[in-house]
Amino acid sequence: MGMKHCGKTTLGRMLAEREGRVFIDLDGYAEALVSRQRGCPLTLREIYRDEGREAFQALEAESLACLMADYPEDGRRAVLALGGGTIENPEALAAFTGSCLFIYLEEDEDVLFRRIQASGIPPFLAGDDPRGAFHLLYEKRTALYRGKADLTIHTGGKNPGEILEDIASRGETRYAC
């Protein structure tokens, strides 16, 4: 877990491959679910922009409930990259049953905002002051991530391979990124 553009998907894929586990990106799973339900492809940005935060969070919670049903506590483990805002969705987080390890990928606020700018300001930061909105969001979510995290990995100045080694060196065998 972590803010948008902190490396959740990249590191999640690498970790899953290293551990011989399934990798699932919650955002991709949610997009596929809603596209199947509605019969047309939709992005999460479109859903958030057109239907608002509540509808987006309901979809996120539904997606996690479906995922937990697909991966019950029967020995099949997955590495799951959560959405950046999942930490603010109690209904979604309630879907986690059994044991999992929450890893917070912590990155510098300025680095993250530059990455976000490069890919286009998302709807949840749209407005007159996206940088100011991001600062407030970063402060709020950082506190939530730190409170939920079983393991915090500081990613600044490290390449993905170094970050992966940092995670793997902890010796854990159950993961939720």
Q: Per the structure block, which two tokens stand in for 62?
A: 């539904």
* Percentage of the chain lying above the pLDDT 70 cut: 91
Lowest mean pLDDT among 63-72, 102-111, 168-177: 168-177
Distance between the two ends of the chain, CA-based, in angstroms?
5
pLDDT for residue 96 is more than 70: yes
Q: How much is the pTM?
A: 0.88
Domains of the chain, each with CATH number or no CATH: 8-168 (3.40.50.300)
Cα(21)–Cα(89) distance, rounded to whole angstroms? 26
Nearest to 97 by CA among 75, 61, 65: 65
Rg (CA), the chain: 16
What pLDDT band is residue 98 in, cutting at 50, 70 and 90?
A: low
- Residue 16, Cβ neighbours under 10 Å: how many? 20
Q: Per the structure block, which two tokens stand in for 150?
A: 């079983």
Who has greater pLDDT, 124 or 118? 118
What pLDDT band is residue 108 in, cutting at 50, 70 and 90?
A: very high
Rounded average pLDDT over 79-98:
90
pLDDT for residue 175 is more than 70: no
Which secondary structure element, helix H or strand E, spans residue 69, and what is its range? helix 44-70
Cα(19)–Cα(38) distance, rounded to whole angstroms? 35
Provide the pLDDT for residue 73: 58
What pLDDT band is residue 75 in, cutting at 50, 70 and 90?
A: very low
Nearest-5° Cα angle at 71, 98 to 144: 50
Provide the pLDDT for residue 76: 55
Cα(30)–Cα(115) distance, rounded to whole angstroms? 23
Provide the pLDDT for residue 165: 92
Residue-wise pLDDT for 149-171, tens only, equals 999 999 998 999 999 999 888 76
